[in-house]
Amino acid sequence: MPKVYSPELGDYVEIPEKPMRIISLSPSVTETLFYLDAGDRVVGVDAWSYRPREALNKKRVGSYTYINIDIIKSLDPDLILTATGVQRNIIEMLRREGFTIYPIPVPTSIYQIFDNILLVAGLIGEYEKGLDLVEKIIDKLKDLVQKYKFKDPLKTYIEIDLGGPTIPGYFSHITSALHIFNLRNIFGDRKQAYLYGFEIPGYKALDLSEVAKLNPDLIIYESKNKKPSEEEFREIVEKRGWQNIKAVASRKYVLIPNDTLAHYGPSFIDNLEFVIKKILEIF
């Protein structure tokens, strides 16, 4: 069998030329598999894999941080694709059980989203489809930039509600994606993927009063809900005393549904287009 090196594992992984029983423990990987027309080879997914809709018909083997090992054994996978970072314990558990595992990196830039598509395509033997898909996405990105790039830089604050304020730093795919359109993340100089406006083990909570001091021109708020409301955002503004921030006072903010920018599968380019068009409606 071919051997593919995994930087995350620090070792080579033997992978069948064309795996036919794949489990995905990452929503972005699940979506990628379907975009590569390999959905019929997916036998199991994590609980958060709902893109595309066909993924909802697949067997659930656990969540992002928990797996049911008995279900996984019953599915007899020849390849399990995971994320990195918080799934490290899951990866080690599955390796001890003798499964073929390959971790797919969490992207630190929009460009690594493209790399991950190519990586998944190569691992499952869909080489041409992977190259074609990335070419199509890059062509669309070029078209969007040509049409919608802002002439002047806009200082931008991005917040995602993941159970608390989660703010992209430099090592987030969101920062580099918005930068292409001249939207400059006010926390884009922080050496983290995300900053947190609440207590989380291993991280110092971001003092959200910094946002007012940096006084962004634009706020992008990704709700935890499918339908974000003006009332939801106004409550945040009142609670934090953000009424005088330039973006708030001039109503230069956009409210977007959950998992819009946070998602980093192939459909990210469509979500990005949706967000840019919403911004253009207010500028």
pLDDT of residue 224: 96
pLDDT of residue 30: 99
Of residues 162, 90, 80, the one with CA closest to residue 124: 80
pLDDT of residue 200: 85
Backbone φ and ψ for 165, nearest 5 degrees, come out as -60, 115
pLDDT of residue 85: 84
Instruction: Specify the domain boundaries for CATH 3.40.50.1980 within the chain.
Output: 3-134, 149-280
120-160 per-position pLDDT tens digit: 999 999 999 999 999 999 999 999 999 999 999 999 999 99
Q: Alpha-carbon distance 259 to 225, whole Å?
A: 9
pLDDT of residue 65: 83
pLDDT of residue 202: 81
pLDDT of residue 203: 84
pLDDT of residue 247: 99
Which residues of the chain, if any, have pLDDT below 70? none
Backbone φ and ψ for 217, nearest 5 degrees, come out as -80, -25
Tokens of 155: 């200082």
What amino acid occupies position 144?
L
Q: Residue 130 gets which letter from DSSP? A: H
pLDDT of residue 211: 98
Domain 3-134 has CATH 2.40.30.60: no
Domain 149-280 has CATH 3.40.50.1980: yes
